[in-house]
Amino acid sequence: MEFLPLFHNLRGSRVLVVGGGEIALRKSRLIADAGAVLRVVAPEIEAQLSELVVQSGGEMILRGYSESDLDGCVLIIAATDDEPLNAQVSHDARLRCVPVNVVDAPALCTVIFPAIVDRSPLVIAVSSGGDAPVLARLIRAKLETWIPSTYGQLAGLAARFRNQVKGLFPNVQQRRAFWEDVFQGAIADRQLAGQGAEAERLLIAKIAGEPPPETGEVYLVGAGPGDPDLLTFRALRLMQQADVVLYDRLVAPTILDLCRRDAERVYVGKRRAEHAVPQEQINQQLVALAKQGKRVVRLKGGDPFIFGRGGEEIEEL
């Protein structure tokens, strides 16, 4: 591992950006979003960057770079198309032991910018160490589609009650078990479904020691054409949290392998020389399992509502 992943609190700190064009603007937006105060040095500074500097409460210096511009700065960004100038900025920052990033020049950097998935307060960073930034951006794009914005709200919910839970469970193992149960249970499901008030009510009840309601849950999940890459993030999450999985013949083994390892697996499809499980029996089985308080996934190949009789199962539930 060439670079150690760290998250830097820049709020209220001064950051120097050398350069006044589009490259400098892109980096400055990230810096400003983190709450830093911008100092931008360049003979010319484009209008959008000027506005950003003003919004951050920073300063613009309309001249060429000087080594003294580093004074009071905790991070240095060289964002020009002048390679000798970028190298000089890197050299000066290293002499002062101040972290420096030079755009598109990993060899001149002591810190690099990752591709970011922002679900604040949850933030995910993806980096190739500067070797393949396009690949890192493509991976970030996949994560953007897989991780809904409600995960940030779930993290925010946990943050609001973190100290209360810490006081309730002084032992770190107990706290870990508590939060694992929260993030893999009904509380997380409610928050991720946009039911924030209900999620908070359940969390407060859990902290108070109230027993959880003995109501089970049934989810109909379409496995699609059999390619695991085509599963939605929500489908994968439900499969990995299920107590029982009812599946049919059209579900590919590669899909079934993604289910929770210790989940009970019940085949309800049709094989050669075997009778299919009647639909009415499947419906009754789903209801019975839910009444036992279990989390059930009805996993169907293809679309559950096109030849899949998913509507009948929902009606029964």
The verdict on whether omega for the bond into residue 121 sits within 30 degrees of 0, i.e. cis, is: yes
Q: Which residue is listed with tokens 């393949």?
A: 132
Q: Is 270 a catalytic residue?
A: yes
**For the chain, first and last CA: distance in Å?**
51
What are 2-5's contacts with CB under 8 Å, separation 24+? Answer: 2/129, 3/111, 3/112, 3/127, 3/129, 5/114, 5/125, 5/127
Number of Cβ within a 10 Å radius of residue 134: 9
CA distance 288 to 216: 9
248 is an active site residue: yes
The candidate with the shortest Cα–Cα distance to 315, out of 288, 286, 277, is: 286
Which residue in the list 142, 166, 270, 291 is annotated as catalytic? 270
Q: Which of 248, 257, 294, 303 is catalytic?
A: 248
Considering only CA atoms, which of 16, 13, 34, 14 is closest in space to residue 24?
Answer: 16
Residue 226 DSSP symbol: S
Which helix (DSSP H) or strand (DSSP E) does residue 189 occupy?
helix 186-192
Q: How many Cβ atoms sit within 10 Å of the Cβ of residue 85? A: 16
Q: How many CA atoms lie within 13 A of 263 on its CB side?
A: 26
Of 117, 113, 114, residue with least CA distance to 145:
117
Catalytic residues: 248, 270
